[in-house]
Structure 1
Amino acid sequence: MAKKPTYKELETQLKELKEGREEIFKQLLKKSFDMIVLLDSNGIQHYVSESCENILGFRPEELTDIPVIEKMIHPDDQEKTMLAFQDILENSANGGTQYRHLHKNGSWVYLEAFGTNQIDNPLIKSVILNVRDITERKKTEQLLKDNETRLKELNATKDRIFSILAHDLKSPFNSIFGFSNILADKIQKNNYHEIEKYAAIIQSSSKKTIDLLTSLIEWSRSQTGRNKFNPEYLELGSIINEVTDLFKDSASQKLITIFKDLPQNTPIFADKAMIGCVFRNLLSNALKFTHIGGEISIGVKQYETEIQVSIADNGVGMKKEAINNLFQIEKSYSTLGTQQEVGTGLGLLLCKEFIDMHNGKIWVESELGNGSIFNFTLPLK
């Protein structure tokens, strides 16, 4: 017959069993990737597991006996975190929330906490939080959102280009084809006056087609990241003069006067090709929508940290709705000029793209019937 253990032996066995279970519990907490936190009803942490050091860089004793919401949680997340904690307390429910917690290195770590109300449990008297680091998940979520936005933009770009290819590019080719047939007939009849007339029309249609293809190529390059950004120190006035010289004939045909108010020696740090493209598109746009005999003014103002360039015309102007859609690919705005000049809206999209690459801003001030002022800024280096 086995000998019955004595009271002292039983006491020793119970103590060893208790210590063993405590050691198991301790090791489970220590090895856990998650952080276990106990809070009292005032939101004071009185226990934080050792895994906090891996997640937040703090030792457990640095995070105990403090009001964690006020001291450690990002100001923008404190209100929702407090509401979630109060909901657990008042409804004796389980609940979870996400928030940013201060890391010891000064950065913010995204955490997800699930809480259980054990305040009324006499052995625990705490809210138990199971907390995990979700920073990488948040980064992935943001990356997916950014990619989704980018895909929508690319899809809008694709739809816009197909629309241009189907309509805007087809029209000038139809003109060239049709008038070339007429021209061939006039050549056979030796009607040189009519030959000159239709040759001029074909030349005009060809130029429009080339301009459109150039815009399409530049836009495509900007959307696929093939436009290399090569800034250098340039003199702004010389760029403006080069571009206005290109449009002398176009302005002369519509009897439009171009005024320039340019300070001497205005240095900029910019990509010459991109800024030249911006000026060409904005000046072309002003010429298109200015009436015969109208005026265009180009002005430059220099401020402490940036320069502002303005191209103003006294042409047809725009409605507010049109202004809001100018720089959006999915709603890009285009209308006929004062002499039925056609456009696609791609030029203004390119302007915004290139100004953004220079960390500048572009905007328009306009009123229907009272002309438009296109402004853009470039930071000074």
Structure 2
Amino acid sequence: MSGRTRVLYVDGAADDLDRVHTLPDGDVPVAETADTAAEAIDRVEAGGVDCVVFGGELPDATGVEFLHRLREIGPTVPCVLFVERSFDPTAAAAIETGATGYLHRNPGVDQTDALSEAVGTALDRCRERDLEATQERFRGIIEASSDVVSILDADGTFRYLSPSVEEVLGYEPSELVGQGAFQYVHPEDRDRVAREFATAVDDPDRTPDAEYRFRHADGSWRVVGSRGTNMIDDPVVEGVVVNTREVTDRRRRDQRMDVLNRTLRHDLRNAMNVILGNAELLMRDHGTDDRAEAIRRTAADMLELGNKVRDVERALDTGERSREMVDLVSVVEERLAAVERSEPEVTVEADLPESEWVLANRQIGSAVDDAIENAVEHNDADDPVVRVTVDEARLTGEAAVTLTVADNGPGIPEEELDVLTGGETPLEHTSGLGLWLIKWVVNESAGEIAFEESDLGGTVVRITLKRASVGQTIDLV
């Protein structure tokens, strides 16, 4: 129900003196009339009628017949019946058929207040039924979920937990209801989790998530992931809904993969250094040799690939996921100066302001390096050109800055662009790891990235980041 309440009076069920002028809650309803049962049915079916007031005998139907037809099209529309006698059998039949209430007509007496009370009561009962039905549907959905769904008060007290809490954490729901949730969180995680929960309470638009340790009923600590949604103002919920699932096995697997990754990278780096050193010794002792140079170049590339993997790992590491102020122009100028020193044959065209501060992931420098490196190293034009600009922009309605890197090279292969723009797929184009690094770092910076054709003939990479306020830092952990 929205706006003013619309009350439909059928066949003079209440004359002008009797019609409700003000409901008990202060609402001033809109009065509408219908001369017949058929007209009333059409009006209800068209929508917007909040309550129907009718008599026991209508021109084209009895009150009970009308009510039967009404319930077929509007099972929950509140209805109030006017009866002629105190003990009118029509009233009992109407109540049995689905009337919300009835009122005895008392000729010559102003019944406005009585009718107002009857209509207000009918509306309240309807709202209560709707609320109960919604709560029942809500309960059915969450109780069928394998995740633990809980409802907490603003102070973090459990008010409801779904039955799955027993399977996941070993508790009966009744054991936790009324208890403070944070006392079950590991002491080292408790303050952080409480802060995340507070952000959901303070800002209904925020849906924070966190991974932390929760005490199982057997006393052990289980790693869980939770996401909170503020539904305190929703009359069905009146609390913060938290979805929780256990991620202990995933965390253990991630830790093992992290150890494996670091060990593998360390061993490969040592092996590549041996190969690189021996290739350089061969070239020194026996002069330039194409085969030795190929070995040296491949070993150097593998070492660089290892460094890129390290940068990607840092960009995606939750411990590195804060965004901080960065002068994008300084980062670009530093990289362009290195290009001019190492690649003098490349023409660099730069149009840069004095400074532009953005809010970005700490690895944004690596992303800028790779964007410019791609434009330089893969440019096989006779006269390679790289054009770099930094301009003002807008991002999701806020002030932003766009870095544009264009080249006249062969462009990024179409199939590699498809992977970058279409989503992450396993084992595709690992040679494009630098491009993935750019995309991931920009995503972690809450920015946008676009790959387009350049008017120079090659590729344009556009990175747009939100402009920073002085001293601004956002912690994403």
TM-score (norm 2): 0.42
State the distance in 2 between where 1:63 and 1:139 align: 34
Q: Are the aligned partners of 1:98 and 1:111 in contact in 2 as well (CA < 8 Å)?
A: no
Do the aligned residues in 2 keep the contact of 1:319 with 1:366 (CA within 8 Å)?
no
User: Contact conserved, 1:308 with 1:377, CA < 8 A, in 2?
Assistant: yes
Secondary structure of 2:318's partner? Answer: coil
Partner SS, residue 369 of structure 2: helix
Show the 5 A alignment for 1:32-43.
41-42=75-76
The residue correspondences of 1:185-200 to structure 2 (distance < 5 A) are 187=285, 191=286, 193-194=287-288
Is 2:279 the partner of 1:179? yes
Q: CA-atom RMSD, angstroms?
A: 5.6
Q: Which residue of structure 1 lines up, in the alignment, with residue 408 of structure 2?
A: 314
Query: How many angstroms apart in 2 are the aligned matches of 1:203 and 1:354?
Result: 30
Map 1:321-340 onto structure 2 (within 5 A).
Answer: 321-326=415-420, 330-331=425-426, 334=429
CA distance in 2 between partners of 1:376 and 1:246 (Å) = 20
Richer in helix (by share): 1
CA distance in 1 between counterparts of 2:161 and 2:370 reads 49
Aligned equivalent of 1:231: 324
Q: 1:309 to 1:71 in 2, by over 3 A?
A: farther
Is the CA contact 2:358–2:467 (under 8 Å) kept in the aligned structure 1? yes
Shift of 1:220: 2.5
Question: Cα offset for 1:321?
Answer: 3.4
Identity of aligned pairs, percent?
17
Look up the match of 2:443.
356
Q: CA deviation at 1:325?
A: 1.1
The aligned residue for residue 304 of structure 2 is: 211
State whether structure 2 residue 365 is matched by structure 1 residue 261: no
Greater shift in the superposed pair: 369-378 or 204-213: 204-213
1:297 aligns with 2:297: no
Query: What is the Cα deviation at residue 65 of structure 1?
Result: 1.9
In the alignment, the residues of structure 2 paired with residue 174 and residue 69 of structure 1 have an alpha-carbon distance, to the nearest angstrom, of 77
Structure 1 residues 250 and 172 mapped into 2: Cα distance closer, same or farther (>3 Å)?
farther
2:373 to 280, 284, 298: 284
Identify the match of residue 220 of structure 1 among 291, 313, 328. 313
8 Å Cα contact 1:98-1:110 kept in structure 2 = no
Task: Give the match for residue 240 of structure 1.
Answer: 332
1:301 Cα offset (Å): 1.8
What letter matches 1:372 in structure 2? Answer: T
CA contact (8 A) 1:43 1:68 kept: no
Q: Matches of 1:242 and 1:331 in 2, distance apart? A: 34
Secondary structure in 2 matching 1:311: strand
Secondary structure of residue in 2 paired with 1:374: strand
Task: Give the superposition deviation at 1:358.
Answer: 2.0
Q: Secondary structure at the match of 1:213?
A: helix
Q: 1:229 to 1:42 in 2, by over 3 A?
A: closer
Per the TM alignment, residue 291 of structure 1 is displaced from its structure 2 partner at its CA by 1.3
Give 1:226's aligned amino acid: G
Distance 2:291 2:416 in 1: 35
Other-structure match for 2:181: none
Stretches of structure 1 lacking an aligned partner (at least 5 in a row): 1-38, 47-60, 82-95, 113-131, 335-342
- Kindly indicate whether the alpha-carbon contact (under 8 Å) linking 1:169 and 1:212 is maintained by their aligned counterparts in 2: no
Task: Please say which of residues 308-317 and 353-362 is displaced more in the overlay.
Answer: 353-362
Give the Cα–Cα distance (whole angstroms) in 2 for the partners of residues 208 and 243 of structure 1.
Answer: 19
Matching of residues 105-144 of structure 1 within 5 Å: 139-140=243-244, 143=245
The Cα of 1:296 is off from its aligned counterpart by 1.2
> Which sections of structure 2, spanning at least 5 residues, go unmatched?
1-70, 79-97, 101-120, 144-151, 163-235, 469-477
Verify the 8 A CA contact 1:281 1:347 in the aligned structure 2: yes
The amino acid of 1:362's aligned partner reads: I
Deviation per CA, 1:283-332: give whole Å up to 9, x if none: 11111221142211111220351111111112112454321312755446
Whether contact under 8 Å (1:332, 1:345) holds in the other structure is no
> In structure 2, how many angstroms separate the alpha carbons of the residues matched to 1:366 and 1:154?
38
Cα pair 1:236 1:266 within 8 Å, conserved: yes
Structure 2 Cα separation of the partners of residues 318 and 227 of structure 1: 29
Question: Which of the numbers 343, 353, 357 marks the counterpart of 1:251?
Answer: 343
Q: Contact conserved, 1:259 with 1:296, CA < 8 A, in 2?
A: yes
Displacement of 1:258: 1.6
Deviation at 1:378, TM superposition (A): 0.8
Query: Secondary structure at the residue paired with 1:315?
Result: coil
8 Å contact from structure 1 (residues 360, 378) kept in 2: yes
**Which residue identity lines up with residue 377 of structure 1 in the other structure?**
T
Partners of 1:360 and 1:97 in 2: how far apart?
Answer: 35
Q: What is the DSSP-based 3-state SS (H/G/I as helix, E as strand, rest coil) of the residue aligned with 2:319? A: coil
Q: CA offset at residue 225 of structure 1?
A: 2.3
CA shift at 1:281, angstroms?
1.0
Q: Summarize the alignment of residues 159-178 of structure 1 with structure 2, pairs less than 5 Å apart.
A: 176=276
- 1:247 counterpart SS class: helix
Distance in 2 (CA, whole Å) between partners of 1:72 and 1:289 is 65
Length, aligned pairs only: 265
CA distance in 2, matches of 1:366, 1:333: 22
State the TM-score, normalized to the length of structure 1.
Answer: 0.51
Equivalent runs, 1:61-76 vs 2, <5 Å: 64-66=124-126
**One-letter amino acid matched to 1:281:** D
Shift of 1:265: 3.2
Higher relative contact order (CA 8 A, sep 6+): 1
- C-alpha distance 370-42 of structure 1, shift in aligned 2 (>3 A): same
Cα deviation digits, residues 125-144 of structure 1 (max 9, x gap): xxxxxxx98x999713xx46
